[in-house]
Structure 1
Amino acid sequence: MNVPWDVSSAEPDRGYEERASRLTGAVVWRRTLEDPAVRPVRPVLPDGCMDLLWSEGRLLVAGPDTRAYVPAGPPRRWAGVRFRPGTAPGFLGVPASELRDRRVELAELWPAAEVRRLGARVEAAADPATALEEIALERAAGAGPPDPLLGLLVAALDAGRPVAATADGLGIGARQLHRRCLSAFGYGPKTLARVLRLRRALALARGGVTFAEAAARAGYADQPHLARDVRELAGTTLGELLGRR
């Protein structure tokens, strides 16, 4: 999941930057939101991931999205760690399905005293994003290894393999696969496959591939099929999303 977080335009988000984390498969990012009256705020698109967030002294968690999320409020700084798909629930100690399409205070999930201590630590750091990464690394060191099946599942679906064939290849039944997906990703394997397919198509289109070819190579029946998914998952048109007319 190395597709850039902001894929809402062909023009780079001037207030956003990211780097690979020392935590396997994760990304560390920073973003400064601009005044929406001056420049429209670009949406966060579904990507199968969850994030640990800091902004203006607050620690929050962004659950898995099933639709575009548009940050609201005044201009402010944000920092975050975006976990590899399926790994955040082990870090947070809560099933992903409980956080689907939600942004919640970390204090709703962890003891308030611990969150206050961690919040003060991030607030005092020269770089809040790096401080968040260190917290994630420390927490991960005390947890068990991630379920290897989840990585295989994401790889198979991201390659366009059908859900039924993926379940057969992993040697588990459809119901068990659905239960494990709900806990790890917040939604079932079909939704995860749909989100990953859209990310593939957008990455191709951002690289200069025509919309029709991007649709075909990503696994859509045709370009109108891709356009419908963009409308439902991103709330806009493909041309508007990528800055093309």
Structure 2
Amino acid sequence: MDETSGGDGYREWPSRFGQAVVWTRTVRAQDAGMPVLPDGCIDLLWVGGQLVIAGPDTRAFRPRAAVGTRYVGIRFFPGTAPALLGVPADELRDRRIELADVWSSGTVRRLSEELGEAGDPASALERIALRRAAEVSPPDPVLRRVVTALDAGWSVGATADAAGLSARLLHRRSLAAFGYGPKTLARVLRMQRALAAARRGVSFADTAAATGFADQAHLAREVRDLTGMPLGQVLTRSGAAASERSGSLSTVI
């Protein structure tokens, strides 16, 4: 597998699902409570014997998990999970809910038993997603074009034109597919591009110029607005929990 790993025991690799990555993480004392930054993705998690959906975030999320907690997850490309889960993304925005709140309790109980008995829960979770994908209609391919355009820095107007949608229809479909409108998704994706550049050692000024911000001050304001933390603090304190999700789009786009 083409795996990447982090210092906190985080590992991820491309999913056979095609528009997702599979990942695992064990919480350590030094990184407990590390924030997870917005990235437009939705995750299906197996943690503490429960199947949990992590919806798309608009702010940094700080999980409360005991040291030693083991996470197994599959992180879906923006716009992919709603068709799979059968629930609009805006109903999941900034929420962590049990899968049993969306699917029947009997179905979730059977899946939980399957995962609990699996020698490799990550592979088992991936198989569950693949089975589900075979049962439902695939996501509208226009959604992927929308994400690709926005992640490339296109304006919302240009993205709507390229997708053959009016601005109003793009907004409505974005809420259901991504959890928020295209402007917010564009801001999230741009922030992730900027943080990835800054982590590679690019100066803040050059990062801002290369990723579509007016200047370094604009970059700092956006990061604070989307994460609740100053830019420098995001880079030093979010650590692997931030990089966990920030690399996902480049893996699956």
TM-score by length of 1: 0.91
Question: Equivalent pairs: percent with the same residue?
Answer: 60
Equivalent in 36, 42, 61 of residue 50 of structure 1: 42
Within 2, Cα distance between the matches of 1:223 and 1:25?
33
What is the one-letter code of the residue matched to 2:151? D
Within 1, Cα distance between the matches of 2:140 and 2:163?
13
Within 1, Cα distance between the matches of 2:7 and 2:235?
12
Structure 2 alignment gaps of length 5 or more? 238-253
Residues 110-142 of structure 1, C-alpha deviation per residue, up to 9 Å, x if partnerless?
000000000010111112111111100110112
What is the DSSP-based 3-state SS (H/G/I as helix, E as strand, rest coil) of the residue aligned with 1:68? coil
1:126-145 residue pairs with structure 2 within 5 A?
126-145=119-138
What is the one-letter code of the residue matched to 2:214? A
Equivalent in 26, 38, 49 of residue 32 of structure 1: 26
What is the one-letter code of the residue matched to 2:51? L
CA 1:126–1:50: 2 relative to 1, 3 Å: same
CA contact 2:27–2:65 (8 Å) conserved in 1: no
Equivalent in 154, 161, 186 of residue 154 of structure 2: 161
User: What displacement does 1:39 show?
Assistant: 4.2
CA contact 2:32–2:65 (8 Å) conserved in 1: no
Within 2, Cα distance between the matches of 1:54 and 1:73?
13
Equivalent in 5, 8, 31 of residue 14 of structure 1: 8
Residues 160-209 of structure 1, C-alpha deviation per residue, up to 9 Å, x if partnerless?
00001111122211110001000000000000000000011011111121
User: What displacement does 1:34 show?
Assistant: 2.1
Hey, what does 2:75 align to over in structure 1?
Answer: 82
Which of the pair is proportionally richer in helix? 2
What is the DSSP-based 3-state SS (H/G/I as helix, E as strand, rest coil) of the residue aligned with 2:236? coil
User: What displacement does 1:73 show?
Assistant: 3.2
CA contact 2:32–2:66 (8 Å) conserved in 1: no
What is the one-letter code of the residue matched to 2:28? E
User: What displacement does 1:54 show?
Assistant: 0.5
What is the one-letter code of the residue matched to 1:233? L
User: What displacement does 1:42 show?
Assistant: 1.6
CA 1:164–1:143: 2 relative to 1, 3 Å: same
Hey, what does 1:173 align to over in structure 2?
Answer: 166
What is the DSSP-based 3-state SS (H/G/I as helix, E as strand, rest coil) of the residue aligned with 2:77? coil
Structure 1 alignment gaps of length 5 or more? 7-11
Hey, what does 2:17 align to over in structure 1?
Answer: 23
Within 1, Cα distance between the matches of 2:168 and 2:226?
25
What is the one-letter code of the residue matched to 2:169? Q
1:1-245 residue pairs with structure 2 within 5 A?
12-35=6-29, 38-75=30-67, 76-243=69-236
What is the one-letter code of the residue matched to 1:57? G
CA 1:48–1:77: 2 relative to 1, 3 Å: same
CA contact 1:53–1:61 (8 Å) conserved in 2: yes
What is the one-letter code of the residue matched to 1:34? R
Within 1, Cα distance between the matches of 2:138 and 2:105?
26
What is the DSSP-based 3-state SS (H/G/I as helix, E as strand, rest coil) of the residue aligned with 2:187? helix
Residues 141-169 of structure 1, C-alpha deviation per residue, up to 9 Å, x if partnerless?
12222211101000100000000111112
Within 1, Cα distance between the matches of 2:32 and 2:110?
35
What is the DSSP-based 3-state SS (H/G/I as helix, E as strand, rest coil) of the residue aligned with 1:81? strand
User: What displacement does 1:64 show?
Assistant: 0.5
Within 1, Cα distance between the matches of 2:31 and 2:173?
40
CA contact 1:47–1:196 (8 Å) conserved in 2: yes
Q: How big is the alpha-carbon RMSD for the aligned residues of Structure 1 and Structure 2?
A: 1.5
